[in-house]
Structure 1
């Protein structure tokens, strides 16, 4: 069986409804057209038999072939140039925006159309097309029907796809469409794949060349509404564009990643579905959007959070939701898929939604505090009730054990980062009390805040190793303790924090600047590496922080995308891609280098 490409080989396309991955070899190997967390129609990413749509010069990968690619500035429109012994050709890929969409309208009513435009640059290049959709994560092989306009309709289960190519008469094989054609310098061939539901409206029909131009303008208009005045502006703008691409525009929710089950270790079983929206990411996302001058996103994202959480009772607030606020994301295995390079199981859904993770309320309340000036002097009822409910829940439960920020699937513990986030909830709630109405109780909240602070300093510090550790009573280091200075729980210049930062860097770090989450973690975790950058800045070591930042950003792929982790032996990307937290970490670290004292 053929081996899937490297994770870093993929470029990311988005219409802010769904996303697709296209490899350097010209194959689109992942597309869930209904929405980010829907079923795939192309799933070669997780099994070579699970569908793809390849468009590339015949013989690509042989002697004399070379590929270079780049996004059009401030867009997720990807242009790949294939140089061959016979000439050069460009393939430009995008997921179509709605006609006329501009700025914050991007993605609200995306038509679910994949656009591919071929342009001859020099010589004469023979192109090959291989269209093999396999809906429902590869479970279905569609019937293919030739159309009068030269296209091919694919129909199976709930899915209808129509492939069309300007000027080409496509022929349907038994289970795929294959076609070869030549492109000369100056010649343009546009094609598209339009998605529709079997019992809904038919797939949209459009001119792919005109729609590509329209989609490019939509992305450019979106980015023109935002500005950034800090350091590393190109990197920050690219990461902000990726976050926009991971935003489900209809609700405002940000998916943690585009993919499911890309492994933390090749052949391992820590393969999770990240196509949902984590409340943990909430504060970090809001801070990143604020840094990247995108505060207009705040209202939609807060509205999604309040509706998803609903009225708060005694049960722990769920950790994650579907992109339209679904709560039950029960996990199951796709046994028909072999997994990325035989990394099983392939998971759909994520059982972390059932866990108690006490850091979650702090992330949300902190985000409200950060964006308070955009939310009005008096909060609307649902927002007010959410903040009050989260605060009171933390006041009642902060002393309990939980699963922690890394969502362990063994026993609960008293994780230090969770307690710090509980402190953050109470501290920020005190700061918001004047906007929360008569039920606000800042005096009591302040007493709980101070009790949590004292407990963390007493129980979280380990005299024997001279550092704050991952859990109370533990001697195990954990990179999540870097949250103490980042949240301003304790200054980075405090002797205990200096000692902790040095210990974490020495025991969990690598010469290349990567930071593992714990001592047995097999890979470097990019977010932790960016946290270390922030801590070094706050400790007054800006030059060292800058050097570390520049080493870490070097792990991005050729078009600026980060997955979740980096293989320590090879430097290869691991985990789901593109990973929102990695790009959030970059934005926040760049801002910390710009404004060391920023909250």
Structure 2
């Protein structure tokens, strides 16, 4: 089986992993989502082509004939049924435990595999081959009567099982005559009945996720797609700190041989803003509240000065980029990058995204910790920074590595920072500060309308004084800088669509960057186009394009960052939060109202 992004995520907001269509766990990092990949074969040697490949965990049947996979409804619990040529069936249930226990959420860095005979007597072989130091070598192992310890990486792991240990350590073929339970987690003894405990964990984890889904306000149409996207966005949260990562993976290229291989396992403040915005539309206030704690720590550390576009999930500011030399990369298309140089960039839109993420807390009575006057005072330096930088060059939201301009999107986000501070001040009764920030917003607006408007072309441009097109111009409506019926916006939408649309899909930009011309479309930009089409009265066209994007999802119901112009293949890191945000936002906007069926 050629390496593919047709992968099923599992997780619990501490642990996360990706399972391929053969039922193998091919990607999982420890001790955090941005750590060393214990299961690394997604970026390593393909097990179907190399018998000695390392970095995966598989359950294989002798004379295997077919594999069928699906999630338990409204959960990230994956059920894989493997059938042999004689009709014998083994079922594998994969999940990371998550439920309330002792007054808190139990979410260890742990993976559970429950293997059950369903029909006949399947003969199975279990291969558990974790790696250390970014695929440099197989983890060293020691065995006990009921466990195997894997040592040598950032975290020592222990797999406890009720199967014969020698069957697993020797990768021996054996008859599956009764259920097998496997718990891979911290190096701690499992002082309970393994089968009964893991079955209880399965039941309670199922109940947790279905209970969480019941709190969502989903649209009438496309509910299954929206629920799957929402669950996956939650899996991209590192709940301990409140961080939300852009994707679970690193170094999946934007297209074949592109060298555009980036590490997305960090918290971009921009991406996280879009995630909480989408989940807020579904009523998932828990994600917002936890992320706001992460943001408050970022703001405190900045002391009114520079804020990076991204941080580590533990608030780490330094994410030095390096190459992992021992992994060849996805389909051999390296390099594999660890870290991201973008932490050094100037991206001025980040100040707007901090305030846009936070402002809801001044109005939302559901929150356990509503924002206070003190919170407002701590945000004002962020607004001052936005005002100071609104007409200064930066690397843009697309993180150009070789050039800087004054980017319209960044300036508009700086305007939004001032505008929303005015709203928050008014809510708190701080009328003098409301006038102050509204005045600042007016100054920034005037600058944008003067510098970003290209009189000769009759539309907004992506840079001040320029003529470039950029899909982020479609966001001027979303942040309420212009109304959807503004003739200036209609002209801009028309130009962006003409210049950047490739069939059904949208580019970010069409000009060459540090790595040449883009050769794939950017999924979130297509969703931005769908929103713009709907708001400009082209509702049926928007629905058709939305259905096209739904058809391009993986079997898990998810999307990566990029897609080939012919729609045949997904590229870029996976699952991509940006893309899932677009799916949720468009479904919410395009769906028929619930009142239509009452």
**TM-score normalised over the length of structure 1:** 0.89
The CA distance in 2 between the partners of 1:329 and 1:203, in whole Å, is 35
Match of 1:168 in 2: 164
Unaligned 5+ residue runs, structure 1?
none
Match of 1:54 in 2: 58
Q: Alignment partner for residue 540 of structure 2, among 519, 538, 543?
A: 543
The CA distance in 2 between the partners of 1:66 and 1:384, in whole Å, is 58
Answer with 354-363 or 211-220: which moved more: 211-220
Q: Alignment partner for residue 497 of structure 1, among 485, 489, 493?
A: 489
Answer with 566-575 or 26-35: which moved more: 566-575
The CA distance in 1 between the partners of 2:531 and 2:191, in whole Å, is 47
Q: Is 2:512 the counterpart of 1:516?
A: no
CA contact (8 A) 1:402 1:414 kept: yes
The CA distance in 2 between the partners of 1:532 and 1:371, in whole Å, is 29
CA contact (8 A) 1:287 1:370 kept: no
Q: Is 2:219 the counterpart of 1:191?
A: no
Match of 1:5 in 2: 3
Deviations 1:520-552 (A, max 9, x none): 321111111111111112112222111111111
CA distance 1:147–1:440, shift in 2 (3 Å): farther
Q: Alignment partner for residue 221 of structure 1, among 194, 201, 211?
A: 211
Match of 2:349 in 1: 359
Within-5 A mapping of 1:367-516: 367-374=357-364, 379-380=371-372, 383-434=375-426, 441-511=433-503, 513-516=504-507
Secondary structure at the residue paired with 1:528?
helix
Secondary structure at the residue paired with 2:70?
strand
Query: By how many angstroms is 1:421 displaced?
Result: 0.8
CA contact (8 A) 1:379 1:436 kept: no
Deviations 1:458-504 (A, max 9, x none): 32233454432221233321111111112121122222221221222
CA distance 1:440–1:170, shift in 2 (3 Å): farther
CA contact (8 A) 2:363 2:427 kept: no
CA distance 1:212–1:135, shift in 2 (3 Å): farther
Query: By how many angstroms is 1:190 displaced?
Result: 2.1
Answer with 320-329 or 237-246: which moved more: 320-329
Secondary structure at the residue paired with 1:55?
strand
CA contact (8 A) 2:383 2:418 kept: yes
CA contact (8 A) 1:423 1:453 kept: yes
Deviations 1:33-62 (A, max 9, x none): 3111111111111112551111122354xx
Query: By how many angstroms is 1:245 displaced?
Result: 1.0
Q: Is 2:508 the counterpart of 1:532?
A: no
Answer with 404-413 or 322-331: which moved more: 322-331
The CA distance in 2 between the partners of 1:446 and 1:194, in whole Å, is 52
CA distance 1:425–1:99, shift in 2 (3 Å): closer
CA distance 1:437–1:253, shift in 2 (3 Å): farther
Query: By how many angstroms is 1:585 displaced?
Result: 1.2
Query: By how many angstroms is 1:335 displaced?
Result: 1.6
Match of 1:181 in 2: 174
The CA distance in 2 between the partners of 1:550 and 1:495, in whole Å, is 28
Secondary structure at the residue paired with 1:45?
helix
Query: By how many angstroms is 1:444 displaced?
Result: 3.4
CA distance 1:57–1:50, shift in 2 (3 Å): closer
CA contact (8 A) 1:111 1:204 kept: no
The CA distance in 2 between the partners of 1:320 and 1:228, in whole Å, is 30
The CA distance in 2 between the partners of 1:98 and 1:34, in whole Å, is 20
Match of 2:33 in 1: 36
CA contact (8 A) 1:427 1:449 kept: yes
The CA distance in 2 between the partners of 1:233 and 1:322, in whole Å, is 33
Match of 2:572 in 1: 575
Within-5 A mapping of 1:107-122: 108-122=105-119
The CA distance in 2 between the partners of 1:584 and 1:509, in whole Å, is 20
Answer with 443-452 or 424-433: which moved more: 443-452
CA contact (8 A) 2:361 2:370 kept: no
The CA distance in 2 between the partners of 1:438 and 1:50, in whole Å, is 61
CA distance 1:31–1:231, shift in 2 (3 Å): same
Count of equivalent residues: 574
The CA distance in 1 between the partners of 2:208 and 2:390, in whole Å, is 45
CA distance 1:159–1:171, shift in 2 (3 Å): farther
Unaligned 5+ residue runs, structure 2?
46-52, 511-516, 594-598
Query: By how many angstroms is 1:432 displaced?
Result: 1.0
CA distance 1:172–1:294, shift in 2 (3 Å): closer
Query: By how many angstroms is 1:435 displaced?
Result: 5.1
Answer with 487-496 or 309-318: which moved more: 309-318
Query: By how many angstroms is 1:189 displaced?
Result: 2.2
Query: By how many angstroms is 1:16 displaced?
Result: 0.7
CA distance 1:16–1:474, shift in 2 (3 Å): same
Secondary structure at the residue paired with 2:122?
strand
Give the root-mean-square deviation of aligned CA atoms: 2.6
